[in-house]
Structure 1
Amino acid sequence: MDYKYINQLVERYWRCETTLEEEAILKAFFSQERIPADLQRYKALFCYEQQAAKDDVLGEEFDKKILAMTAEPTKVKARTITMTQRLKPLFKAAAVVAIMLTLGNAAQVPFNEDSYPTAGTVKTHEGGASVALRDSATIDSLQHSSVEMVASPQSGLLK
Structure 2
Amino acid sequence: MDYKYINQLLDRYWQGETTLEEEQILRSFFSQLCVPEELAKYRPLFVYEQTEPKTDRLGDDFDERLLSMVGEPQEVKARKVLISQRFAPLFKAAAMVAIVLTLSQAAQMSFQSTEDVPAGVPAAYAPRVHEGASVAMTDTMRMDTARHNGLSSTGTVDQPLGQTAPTILK
Instruction: Specify the TM-score bucket, using the shorter chain as the normaliser.
Output: 0.5 to 0.7
Task: From the superposition, tell whether residues 35 and 72 of structure 1 become closer, same or farther in structure 2 (CA, over 3 Å).
Answer: farther
**Structure 1 equivalent of residue 17 of structure 2:** 19
1:64 offset after TM fit, Å?
3.0
**Structure 2 equivalent of residue 66 of structure 1:** 66
Rounded to whole Å, the distance in 2 between the matches of 1:103 and 1:97 is: 10
Task: From the superposition, tell whether residues 61 and 13 of structure 1 become closer, same or farther in structure 2 (CA, over 3 Å).
Answer: closer
Larger helix fraction of residues: 1
Q: Could you tell me which amino acid in structure 2 is paired with residue 29 of structure 1?
A: F
Name the structure, 1 or 2, with higher relative contact order (CA <8 Å, separation 6+).
Answer: 1
**Structure 1 equivalent of residue 81 of structure 2:** 81
After superposition, the C-alpha distances for 1:56-87 in whole angstroms (9 at most, x for unaligned) are 32235543321213441223143211111111
SS at match of 1:69: helix
- Any stretches of 5+ residues in structure 1 without a counterpart? 118-159
Task: From the superposition, tell whether residues 72 and 51 of structure 1 become closer, same or farther in structure 2 (CA, over 3 Å).
Answer: farther
Q: Aligned residue pairs: how many?
A: 114
SS at match of 1:110: helix
Q: Could you tell me which amino acid in structure 2 is paired with residue 65 of structure 1?
A: R
RMSD: 3.2
What is the TM-score of this pair, normalised by structure 1? 0.54
Q: Could you tell me which amino acid in structure 2 is paired with residue 105 of structure 1?
A: Q
Q: How does 1:2-151 map to 2 (within 5 A)?
A: 2-11=2-11, 13-14=13-14, 16=15, 19-21=17-19, 22-30=22-30, 32-38=31-37, 39-48=39-48, 54-60=54-60, 62-111=62-111, 114-116=114-116
1:92 offset after TM fit, Å?
0.8
Rounded to whole Å, the distance in 1 between the matches of 2:107 and 2:73 is: 62
Percent identity, aligned pairs only?
A: 51
**Structure 2 equivalent of residue 132 of structure 1:** none
